[in-house]
Amino acid sequence: MTHGMVVAPQPEAVEAGAIILKEGGNAVDAGIACALVQGVVDPQMTGIAGFGSLQAYLPGRAIHECIDFHGKSPAATRDDMWSDLIEGETRDGFGFILKGRVNDVGYQSITVPGSLKAYAEAQEAWGRLSWADVMQPAIAEAKTGAIVRPHVYNWWTTNDGSGRVLSAERLGLTASGRQIYFNKDGSLKRVGERLNNPEMADTLRHLAARGAEDFYTGELAGHIASDMMANGGLLAAQDLSDYSTCHGKPLRGDYRGLQVATNQPPGGGIMLIQMLNVLEHFDLSDIGHNSVEYIRIVSEAMKRATIDKDTHVGDPAFVDIPLERLTSKRYAATLAALIRDGEQARVERLARVPESKDTTQVSVIDEEGNAFSMTHSLGMPSGVITDGLGFMYNGCMGVFDPRPGRAGSLAPGKSRFSSLCPTIVFRNDEPFIVIGAPGGTQIAMGVLQVLLNLIDFDMPMTDAVIAPRFSGTSTPIDVSNRIPRFVTRELEAMNYEIIRWAQSYAFGWVHGIRIDDGVWSGGADPATDGMALAV
């Protein structure tokens, strides 16, 4: 009997999800187990002190719901508290560089975490197994100690020139971090070495026994709040106890006769729907995959969605988002006409520095047709590990706009925009594609291109995630190194600035499942160490 398929960037996490399916769990059980292990084996990409967005589809129970669990700025936040510290903005508009990097690393960079609460709510509401059973693989992995994989080490040692604090400095910010991630001689642990983190195993065992709520209102919450207070953090006990996730229906659109279900703002689904609406006006298969005209058209759609995101999209509890207009077919037709006429969009930025990609994804389908997609993250991790707890906190304050009066400005209890867009595409009312990606602000751009590869060019799932990608999140067009120069030279002749990345695989790390007549095929982006596994 085939139980299901799991796709994610971490093999250990994929295996954990697959075992849960074999043991009788459903897609939600497997997805949450996978997520918990991801926080152990890839602890700067995600974890229990992170944020994210998930989508669950359980047709047998008539359930189709999203949970938004973005981090919220602590109550001590003020809209102007960093306005005099601005040094620049990331080139793709997904973060700000401040003097002293106070928003980027350390105790003031931490938003109220939502991940653990969302994991527990989803699993309790829709899973089959017990919370303790679903946590067991992560506990076992933490007890053994995760092995440093190439992708993890690459993140630790890469200097992207962004002006942000280097990853190795984050790892060594606290005494606990130095003990976990460095050898006794002070050298950073290398590929194949093991992370000894018994404190994380103890924390996970504690949460398995007492429940996730202990993180927010119990003994663990008290430990967290005391550490924050002692070190000048903004996060307080009241912030933890007040935190709540947001449950709701997916944001819906359609593309070439298929139904697209993605997440609501402040997630990136709004951008994905808008871009698909625009691109529906072009015969992309006839234009040709990654041709000069294809890259021009798709990147212009990306730029226009980016401009609208920067101007209008934020936390819907704080910002009046013109959702209906931005996702309407009529508005898309207007944008498509501008693109067809050759008008080049300009995306305004304060500075030119890139953005991080510290996020991860899990996609699952099971034998009953239940589908689960979750993208979750630490943002740019804060580097903070409370002594004795073993996990690192998110660093999501860095994405808020320190300039008051804007859609992304700081405010108490506010969530930041993120490009996270866990998505399920339906064909004839059945799941056809289950997809999502890590990749900072490039997430929606990567998911978009893989969807176009699958729908417009009918690529197999593996080919769709492997095909070279590009991005239009700023005025220049960014291209991966496998986009031919003879193509980009023609774009340059049209007065486009082209920025060629050193990476062959870039702009989101897309992981997904394609379902054709009940047959599953999975694709794991080769930029990571991940895999697709059917059991």
Show which residues are catalytic.
359
| Close Cβ partners of 97 (under 8 Å, ≥ 6 residues apart) | 86, 87, 88, 89, 90, 104, 162, 163, 164, 351, 353
Cis peptide before 266 (omega within 30 of 0): yes
Listed in sequence order, the residues at least 6 apart from 203 whose beta carbon sits closer than 8 Å to its beta carbon are 48, 220, 389, 390, 391
* Residue 67 near residue 124, CB atoms below 8 Å: no
Residue 529, both tokens: 């160490």
**Helix axes 292-312 and 269-279, enclosed angle (nearest 10):** 140
End-to-end CA distance of the chain: 8
Rounded-to-integer distance, Cα 331 and Cα 260, Å: 18
CA angle 268, 371, 423 (to 5 degrees): 15
In three-state secondary structure terms, 515 is: strand
β partners of residue 361: 375
Tell me if 177 sits within 8 A of 383, measured CB to CB. Answer: yes
- Helix (H) / strand (E) element for 431: namely strand 430-436
- The residues, any chain, with a CB within 8 Å of residue 68's CB and separated by 6 or more, are 53, 245, 246, 248, 263, 264, 266, 267, 415
What is the SS3 assignment for 149? coil
Instruction: Give the number of other Cβ atoms within 10 Å of residue 412's Cβ.
Output: 15
| Helices (H) then strands (E): counts for the chain | 19, 18
Dihedrals phi, psi of 270, to nearest 5 degrees: -60, -40
**Contact predicate 269/262, CB 8 Å:** yes
Q: Which residues of 249-268 are buried (b: 16+ CB within 10 A; e: fewer)?
A: ebbebebeebbbbbbbbbbb
Token couple for 306: 């980016």
- Both tokens of 353, joined, read 């520095």
Q: For residue 214, give the H/E element and its range.
A: helix 214-217
Angstrom distance (rounded) from CA 170 to CA 378: 12
- Hey, what are 468's tokens? 């070279």
**HEC assignment per residue over 119-135:** HHHHHHHHCCCCHHHHH
